Amino acid sequence: MGSGPITGPVLTEGTARDLGAQSADLAGVPAKPHPTDSAEIGGTSWRRFVFRRPLAALILKRLGLSIGLLFAVSLMIFGGVEALPGDFATTYLGQSATPQAVENIRKDLGLDRPWSERYLSWLGGAVKGDFGTSWASKQSVSEQIAKRLGNSLFLAFFAALISVPLAVGLGMLAVQFRNRMPDKIINVISLAAISLPEFFIGYLLIMVFAVELGVATFPATVYDTMTLAERLSAIALPVATLVLVVLAHMMRMTRAAILNVMSSAYIETAELKGLGTFRIIARHAAPNAVAPVINVIALNLAYLVVGVVVVEVVFVYPGMGQYMVDAVTVRDMPVVQACGLIFAAFYIFLNMAADILAILANPRLRHPR
Amino acid sequence: MNVKSIPISAWVGIVGIAIAVLCAIFAPLIAPFGEREIVGEIWLPAGGDFVLGTDNLGRDLLSRLIYGARTTIFVALAATVLSFALGMILSFAAAVMGGFVDQLFSRFNDLMMAIPTLIFALVVLAVLPQYLWVLILVMAVLDSTRVFRIGRAVALDVAVMEFVEAARLRGEGSLWIIFREILPNTLSPLLAEFGLRFAFSILFLSTLSFLGLGIQPPAADWGGMVKDNKDGIIFGISAALVPGAAIATLAICVNLVVDWLMKRTSSLKGGRGDA
């Protein structure tokens, strides 16, 4: 097999972008000492701020970009859905509904108002944390989400806690034994793991650990009165599933990121200079590998937040993902939109965190094109 | 290309894909029972008349698996082909025209990619009616964002080369440049990407079907079969694991072939080979 090429699509993009950023920045630095200066963003006070605190300005800009992106996403989740063919009321009631019933339900749900008005009132509520009431249960969406978001984050947090150190460690191991047996084994196993659907891993674990061996609990229900230990034992299987799902991706990407650094010219120079392996890794490789590895971790955490959807359905775990899937099945739009927005917000936020951490860790990224 | 140079892992992948495709094409001839035919008790164990046992309604699991190959592969392939057509045309257009068109397409693509695919699909499928072509279209559009990104990057690399410049100076139009100059030179990385997207499509379709939003019953499809039989798991009945294993096997086979294709293209191009 040799050292496998990068198989994840995210990865190829990631390295391509990194290379792009590096070359652009090599070309850009001498020509433009303060590239942000030339970008016409605001008045003179902003320029002075950019000049004095280029790093803070860059981070602020990235933050602003994310917030802008979030608004665009909210518009897309609400407006885009609105623009699609098909009428909520008709699909909601089914094909055989009488026109009168459709009219009634439209009025009931406030669908007779123009969509821009509804969007603004929805967005206004969403900013304050009020997502309206569910069509199906007539309960407050925000209350339900408040209960379930915590559960989902609890799950994702423990999955991250286990998978991140494990993935980085295994990735480094694979680099250490590059093209030798441990690397090949890790490569083949991770290639297989990438191809396994989440629900298959989930049911396989249930079959083995809950049904055959009887050491784990299924379904993974949690409720308010449970102690921490009970909760942890309830989420053991879902966490294991999530870990297995992200581990392979994260490990392959870590391996590629470190290999990328290790194959660069300055490492070769250090080797030729006669430095010891440890010194090369600690002084030359690690500082340069931190940024891509952090990026990999943040990207996979973002993936984790979405990965909980399927895992929650498999394990009947009362989290956001299951709430959303149930709502989609009965076409309960307020719930779907609220969940969609929150998931997207987490995703955007984690991607932003990845970018900012990468900028902090790698000074070369501070001079954008 | 030398047949002997194909590594064993790639052979395994090719054979696996071939078996699945043969099942899909000749499903009515191979399957011992009908797709929707109820043939016995529910959840009979494997063996006897029913090689893999029966499902939650008493249908033959093997027959449904074979028919399911048809639906799953057809829908995933259709979505991938469509997403490639869409993503490549748009990305090449963006790369060749540049300027405003490039900015418009790229920024819109960034916006689409800012929403996780599964979440986007859930939101969109909540509104749209449940038809097969709608499902294929949604999958294709969501997947085309990834194709667009890679297609644009690859095309930009090629678009600045001398032979493209020469064609431009010769007075060739954008269409000629896209189809006769850029496409042939970007084919090999895009082929590997196609396989990758196909594997992803299979997994994505299965996930949607598993969540009850993909292919609707009674049509057999692997993700939906897992959903149908999942209640049996708790009684120790492994009927749900069989279609799950089928999905996993097919995805692994596709990935094995892609792995080999990528290695091949990277060595052809005189790339560093590693990393």
Give yes or no for B146 touching A (CB within 8 A).
yes
Burial (CB < 10 A; 0-12, 13-18, 19+), residue A181, is exposed
A333-347 mean pLDDT: 88
Q: Does the pLDDT of residue A196 top 60, yes or no?
A: yes
pLDDT for residue B17: 93
Please check the confidence at residue A10 and state whether its pLDDT lies above 60: no
Q: Given this model, what pLDDT does residue A24 score?
A: 37
Whether A235 shows a pLDDT value over 80: the answer reads yes
How far are the Cα atoms of A27, A253, B7 from residue B257, in angstroms, in the given order? 38, 20, 10
Which residues pair with residue A140 across a beta bridge? A133
DSSP B47: B
C-alpha closest to that of A69 among A273, A365, A350, A300:
A350
Nearest to A16 among B127, B129, B153 (CB): B153
pLDDT for res A84: 61
What's the gap in Å between the CA of B36 and the closest CA on chain A? 24
Residue type, A323: Y
If DSSP codes are grouped into helix, strand and coil, which group holds residue B15?
helix
Q: Does B240 touch chain A (CB under 8 A)?
A: yes
Residue of chain A whose Cα is closest to the Cα of B237:
A207
Residue with tokens 């999530």: A242
**3-state secondary structure (DSSP) of residue B59:** strand
User: What pLDDT digit, counting tens, does each position of A139-177 carry?
Assistant: 888 888 888 888 888 888 899 999 989 888 888 888 777
A-chain CB neighbours of B210 within 8 Å are: 197, 199, 310, 313
How far apart (Å, rounded) are the C-alpha atoms in residues B228 and B240?
A: 8
Contacts of B169 (CB under 8 A, 6+ apart): none
Q: Which residues of A touch B211 (CB under 8 A)?
A: 309-310, 313, 325, 328
Scanning A117-146 for CB atoms below 8 A from B yields none
Q: Determine the Cα–Cα distance for residues B19 and B14; give it in Å rounded to an integer.
A: 9
pLDDT of residue B1: 55
Q: Which residue has the higher pLDDT, A138 or B11?
A: B11
CB proximity A281 to B under 8 Å = no
Q: Binning pLDDT at 50, 70 and 90, where does residue A38 land?
A: very low
pLDDT for the residue numbered A197: 87
CB atoms near residue A279 (< 10 Å): 12
A209 Cβ contact partners less than 8 Å away, ≥ 6 residues apart: A215, A216, A237
The encoded tokens of residue B24 equal: 């899909």
Q: What is the pLDDT of residue B96?
A: 79
In the numeric block, the tokens 């320029």 are attached to A47
| d(C-alpha A324, C-alpha A335), whole Å | 7
Query: From CA B218, how far away is CA B224, in angstroms rounded?
Result: 9
Residue B92 has phi, psi (to 5 degrees) of: -65, -40
User: For residue A116, how many other CB atoms are within 10 A of its CB?
Assistant: 11
- On whether any CB of chain B is under 8 Å from the CB of A67, the answer is no
Option in B122, B226, B248 nearest A336 (CB):
B122
DSSP assignment of A131-167 equals --B-TTT-SBHHHHHHHHHHHHHHHHHHHHHHHHHHH
Domains of chain A listed by start with CATH number: 142-331 (1.10.3720.10)
SS3 B255: helix
Please determine, for residue A67, whether its predicted confidence score (pLDDT) is greater than 80: yes
pLDDT at res. B86: 93
Helices (H) then strands (E): counts for chain B: 11, 0
Distance (Å) from the alpha carbon of B170 to chain A's nearest alpha carbon: 30
Query: What CA–CA distance (Å, rounded) separates A254 from A285?
Result: 13
Q: A42: helix, coil or strand?
A: coil
Residue entry with tokens 């102690």:
A227
Q: How large is the average pLDDT for residues A303-308?
A: 82
Output the pLDDT for position B52. Answer: 79
Using CA atoms, how far apart are residues B160 and B172, in angstroms rounded to an integer?
15
Residue A22 has pLDDT above 60, yes or no: no
pLDDT at A23 over 60: no
Q: Is B99 on the interface with A (CB under 8 A)?
A: no
B258 at interface of A, judged by CB pairs closer than 8 A: yes
Residue B241 three-state SS: helix
pLDDT value at position A12?
Answer: 39
Cβ(B127)–Cβ(A84) under 8 Å? yes
Average pLDDT, chain A: 77
The alpha carbon of residue B94 and the mean position of all alpha carbons in its chain are separated, in whole angstroms, by 24
Range A336-350 average pLDDT: 89
Tokens of A327: 């709502």
What's residue A367's pLDDT?
Answer: 65
pLDDT of residue A86: 56
**Quick one: pLDDT at residue A368?**
55
* A133 vs A156: CA distance, rounded Å: 27
Question: Is residue B104 within 8 angstroms of chain A, CB to CB?
Answer: no
Entry field: residues in chain B:
275
Q: Does B46 touch chain A (CB under 8 A)?
A: no
Please give the Cα distance from A334 to A132 (Å, whole number). 7
ipTM of the complex: 0.84
Residue with tokens 């501070």: A366
- Dist CA A81 CA B126 (whole Å): 9
| 10-residue averages of pLDDT along chain B (275 residues) | 75 91 87 78 75 80 89 93 92 84 88 86 83 90 90 82 86 82 78 88 92 84 89 82 91 88 63 37
* 0.95 exceeded by pTM: no
Looking at beta carbons, which residues of chain A come within 8 Å of B114? 69, 72-73, 344, 347-348, 351
